[in-house]
Amino acid sequence: MKKINFGAGPCILPQSVFELAAEAIIDYDQLGLSILEISHRSHAFVEVMEEARSLVLELMNLDASSYTALYLQGGASQQFAMVPYNFLSNTAAYVDTGVWSQKAISEAKKVGHVETIASSKENGYKSIPEKISIEHSYDYVHLTSNNTIYGTQFDAFPSFNETPMIADMSSDILSRPRNYAAFDLIYAGAQKNIGPAGTTLVVVKKDFLQHVNGLDRFKFLDYNAHSKADSMLNTPTVFSIYASLLNLRWIKEQGLDSIFSENQQKAALLYATLEKHNWISPFAERSSRSSMNVTFTIPDASHAALFDSYCKKYDIHGLKGHRLVGGYRASLYNALSLSNVKILTDVIDEVNTHV
């Protein structure tokens, strides 16, 4: 029995992606070879890489003459270091909206001077700071678009005129059409909404690649080196990139607008149900709530026990809150359908009839 996976990442992907990926492990494109054994320099894989690079730009509505997409390794965590290592010359500005932002800030401080220009630390990261502005120019402003742990999300992004913007979009990239072109660099660990763990998407403006600092940097940590090598500086994560491509094709088939519309319905249904029963989030204020990661607590311990047993019964998986905050978290990534969410909300309603 296939479970309904509300896990935060690695996460659910469309069943068709799992099936096509499984086929490719046995025989890729009728080559008589597995995707796991073909050369990354083979024509077959170079085609995969090129389509994955161009399709992601297309889905983000970015012009391929201005932007380039790279599939790197090391997760979003390596980007925390790579971003400042390449682009921090004088001072960088960071918006602190939680643990992932903090990690990015801590890595940047090892490279140079960092200013936290806005933070929601004071209120336990329950909200996205309002009216973020800057007084002078910075090498870049960095923000985290969706805070996976607390369930908060930027609905609209601030803008800073000429100052380049960089975002960690690991947990909400391609969950909705966005003005991705407002950013000079966007990164995302693939395992939430793009594909399986293993590859990290970096989308960067070609002009911005000229802004690198004067460091004589390790080649593998150099965006320009990866870009010049067409994202094949070394052996890429062939399988992860192929499965990501399958998912990108699925997103294209669905259409990002229709995915967004379903994502909104999913979140609205779940939040309404939680509110109805007072199972609300202690981690996210209403105005900053995420449509991707919905955090909640169950005030009554006997309800919690009943809820856990119902989840088991209905094959609902992955609702445990992040270890730092506890409680529950339902992640509503693209491949999770509205009917899947309906099963969860029915269970929540059912548990609450046992008062």
Ligand X SMILES: *Cc1c(COP(=O)(O)O)cnc(C)c1O
The verdict on whether 29 is a catalytic residue reads: no
Round to whole Å and give the CA distance between 93 and 138.
6
Q: How far is the CB of 132 from ligand X (least distance, A)?
A: 17
Round to whole Å and give the CA distance between 320 and 343.
17
Strand pairing report for 141-144 and 113-119: unpaired
Q: Amino acid identity of 25?
A: I
219-253 burial string, b = 16+ CB within 10 Å, else e? eebbbeebbeeebebeebbbbbbbbbbbbbbbbee
Round to whole Å and give the CA distance between 136 and 146.
26
Residue (170 or 281) nearer to ligand X, CB:
170
The verdict on whether 279 is a catalytic residue reads: no
Residue (170 or 244) nearer to ligand X, CB:
170
Q: How far is the CB of 232 from ligand X (least distance, A)?
A: 20
**Of the residues 96, 139, 168, 222, which is catalytic?**
168
Q: How far is the CB of 107 from ligand X (least distance, A)?
A: 11
Round to whole Å and give the CA distance between 91 and 182.
20
Q: How far is the CB of 348 from ligand X (least distance, A)?
A: 25
Q: Amino acid identity of 50?
A: E
Q: Which of 253, 264, 30 has its CA nearest to residue 245?
A: 253
Are the C-beta atoms of 224 and 208 separated by less than 8 Å? no
Strand pairing report for 200-205 and 185-189: antiparallel
Binding stretches for ligand X (CB under 6 A): 9, 75-77, 100, 144, 148, 168, 170-171, 189, 192
Q: How far is CA 233 from CA 20, 43, 70, 72, 150, in A?
A: 27, 16, 10, 9, 36
Q: How far is the CB of 150 from ligand X (least distance, A)?
A: 11
Residue (148 or 273) nearer to ligand X, CB:
148
Are the C-beta atoms of 14 and 243 separated by less than 8 Å? no
Q: Which two tokens stand for residue 232?
A: 């094949």
The verdict on whether 172 is a catalytic residue reads: no
Residue (188 or 298) nearer to ligand X, CB:
188
**Of the residues 96, 126, 139, 192, which is catalytic?**
192
* Rounded (to 5) percent helix, strand, coil in the chain: 40, 15, 45
Residue (69 or 298) nearer to ligand X, CB:
69
**Of the residues 100, 139, 222, 250, which is catalytic?**
100
Residue (172 or 184) nearer to ligand X, CB:
172
Q: How far is the CB of 278 from ligand X (least distance, A)?
A: 27
Active site residues: 100, 168, 192
